[in-house]
Structure 1
Amino acid sequence: MKLVVVSGLSGSGKSVALHVLEDLGYYCIDNLPLGLLTALGGQLSGPGGRTPERVAVGIDARNLAGDLERFPAMLEELAGHGFESETLFFFAERETLLKRFSETRRKHPLTDGSLPLGDAIDAEWQLLEPIAANAALHIDTSHTNVHELRDLITSRVGREEAGLSLQFLSFGFKHGVPADADFVFDIRCLPNPHWEPELRALTGRDFAVAEYLEGEPLVEQMYAQIRDFLATWLPHFQRDNRSYVTVAIGCTGGQHRSVYFAERLGAHFQDQLDSVQVRHREVP
C-alpha cells in the first residue's frame, strides 16, 4: 500500500495537493492528528472490508510537539503494516506567506491574541522540522500559482510507475535561488543574449536565441559537461530508490540562457527517463 503524507507551512498549498491526490484516486484524510497515524495504518491494513491501495493524509503543526518528534518512528511502524510511505513538504518564502494571509484574510492556525502572524510562521517551521527532515520532496510554492501547482503534483506524484522523476527548473539569480533544488548550476558566465537588441525581448525557447547560443563554444562546452555529469550520477540516484531530483539552471534574469539549457537538457533526458519535466520560474 502507498501512503503519501502531505505536510508543510500553512498557506503553502497543502489543501491543493490533497485535492489533486484525491483526483488521482488516493483515499485522502485532511488534518489527521499525528497520534492517530499508526492506528490508521493498522486499521487500513487489517482484515475485512475494502482496503484502499493508495492513501494520503494531511498533517499540520496543530499537533503535540512530542508526536511531531516521533514522526520518523511512526513511518517505520507503518512500514511494518505494509505501507510504502512518502512525505511531501510544502513551503514558501516568509514574505509570500505574509502576503497570502493578508490577501485572503485567513487566520493562521497558530496565531492567537499574543502571537503575531510573522512569529506564527516562524514557530510553524520549528514545529514541522521533524517532518521536513524526512520528506522525499520539498516543494517551494513562492512563485507557483494554483494551476502550476496542480500540474506539478500531477506530473511528479501521479506517476509512481515512472520511477525517478527528473525536473529541470530555469531561474534568475536576481530573483533568488530555488530552495527545493537538488543541483544548482550557475551559467551566468556564458555569453548573454540580453545584450543583443534583437534578442532581448525573446526567451530561450525561441529559435533565434537558441541559434545564437549554439554558436558559442563556451555554451556547448558547459552544456556537454552538465549533461555528462547528470548522465553519470542519475543512475546512482535511481539505484538508491530516489523518487525526485530537481536540477536548477540559473542565469541572471532567468529568461534566455537558463531557459535554453533547461529545454535542451529536458529534451535529451526525455528519451532516457519516463518522467521528465521542464519548468521556467521567471518565464510564463
Structure 2
Amino acid sequence: MRLIIVSGRSGSGKSTALAVLEDNGYYCIDNLPAGLLPELAERALLHTELLQPLVAVSIDARNLPSQLKRFAELLNDVRARHIQCDVLYLDADEETLLKRFSETRRRHPLTNENRSLAEAIRDESTLLGPIIDLADLKIDTTHLNLYQLRDCLKLRLLHKPEPGTAYLVESFGFKHGMPVDADLVFDVRCLPNPYWMPELRDFSGLDQPVVDYLASQADAQEMYQDILAYLSKWLPRFAASNRAYVTIAIGCTGGHHRSVYLADRLGQALKGSLKNVQVRHRDLSE
C-alpha cells in the first residue's frame, strides 16, 4: 500500500495535487480528520480489492488544532503498519497566496470578523507546524502555474518506482528566485556565460552548441567535477538518514545555459550510481 498525505496552506495547490493523484489511480479524500488516519490505513489494508492500494488524503488547517498537534503520533502509528507513506507539503509566499485569494474571491477557512486574510495566512503556518516539520517533500508553488505544478507532482511523486530516496537535480535562474524547497544549492554564476555570445544566446544548455562551448571551458569542467565529487560522497548519506526526497538546485543568472548544462550532466552521471534520480529545468521555458 502507498499512502500520500497532502497538506499545505490554503491556495498553495492542494486541490490540484489531489486531482493529479486521482487521475493516476489514487483513492482521494479531501479534508480527512487527522485522528482517522490510522483507522483509514488499517481499513485500506484489510478491505481493499487492490493488490497495491493507492490512497491520498488531504489534511490541512480545517482540522481541529488538537488533532494537528498529534500528527507526529498519528504518522508513526501509520508507518508502524509497514505502509509506504509520503507527506507532501505545498506552500507559496504570502504575497502570492493573497493574490490567489483575491483572484478567486474564495473565503479563507481561518478568516472571521476578527482575523484578516493576511493574518489567517500567517496563522495557518503555525497551525500546520507539526506537518511542516515532518514533510518528506516540500514544493514551493510561488512560481508555478497549474500545468507546471501538475508536471512537478508527476515527476516527484508518481515517478518514484520503489521505496527509497528520490533525488531531483534542478536547474534554475536566480533572477526568477531561488527555490526555497532545495536541500542543496550550487551557484554557478561565476562560469563563462554563453548568453553574451550572440551565436549561442538563443540556445539552451541542452543544445549541442552550448554543450560544446561549456565543455571547452576549464572552469566549467572543474566546477562539474567538484560538484559531482561532493554529491557522490554525500547523497548516499542523505539516503542512509531515511530521507525520502532530496533536491539539488544548480543556479545561474537566467536558468537557460550554465545551470541547465550542469544539472543535466550531473543528473546523468548520478544515475549510474543512484536509483530514482530525476532532472528538471525550472526556468528553461521562461
TM-score of the superposed pair, with normalisation by structure 2: 0.90
Q: Mind listing any 5+ residue stretches in structure 2 that lack a counterpart? A: none
Report how far residue 119 of structure 1 moved.
Answer: 1.4
Report how far residue 162 of structure 1 moved.
Answer: 6.5
2:240 alignment partner in structure 1: 239
Equivalent-residue separation in structure 1 for 2:4 and 2:82 (angstroms): 13
Letter in 1 for 2:29: I
Equivalent-residue separation in structure 1 for 2:232 and 2:80 (angstroms): 35
Contact kept in structure 2, 1:162 and 1:275, CA below 8 Å:
no
> Superposition pairs for residues 243-254 of structure 1, below 5 Å?
243-254=244-255
- CA deviations on 1:32-64 (whole Å, 9 max, x unpaired) are 111222332343345x56477222110110122
1:57 alignment partner in structure 2: 57
- CA deviations on 1:223-260 (whole Å, 9 max, x unpaired) are 01111211222222333343211110011222221111
Report how far residue 274 of structure 1 moved.
Answer: 4.4
> Superposition pairs for residues 8-157 of structure 1, below 5 Å?
8-46=8-46, 50=49, 53-157=53-157
Q: Which deviates more from structure 2 when the two are superposed, residues 251-260 or residues 122-131?
A: 251-260
Secondary structure of the residue that 1:184 maps to in structure 2? strand
Contact kept in structure 1, 2:166 and 2:244, CA below 8 Å:
yes
Q: Residues 82 and 163 (structure 1 numbering): CA distance in 2 closer, same or farther, change over 3 Å? A: closer
Letter in 2 for 1:41: A
2:206 alignment partner in structure 1: 205
Letter in 2 for 1:193: P
Equivalent pairs counted in the alignment come to: 283
Secondary structure of the residue that 2:162 maps to in structure 1? helix
Q: Residues 16 and 36 (structure 1 numbering): CA distance in 2 closer, same or farther, change over 3 Å? A: same
Equivalent-residue separation in structure 1 for 2:211 and 2:80 (angstroms): 52
Equivalent-residue separation in structure 1 for 2:184 and 2:34 (angstroms): 32
Secondary structure of the residue that 1:167 maps to in structure 2? strand
Percent identity between the aligned chains?
52
TM-score of the superposed pair, with normalisation by structure 1: 0.91
2:277 alignment partner in structure 1: 276
Secondary structure of the residue that 1:7 maps to in structure 2? strand
Equivalent-residue separation in structure 2 for 1:84 and 1:203 (angstroms): 38
Contact kept in structure 1, 2:44 and 2:53, CA below 8 Å:
no
Equivalent-residue separation in structure 1 for 2:17 and 2:220 (angstroms): 38
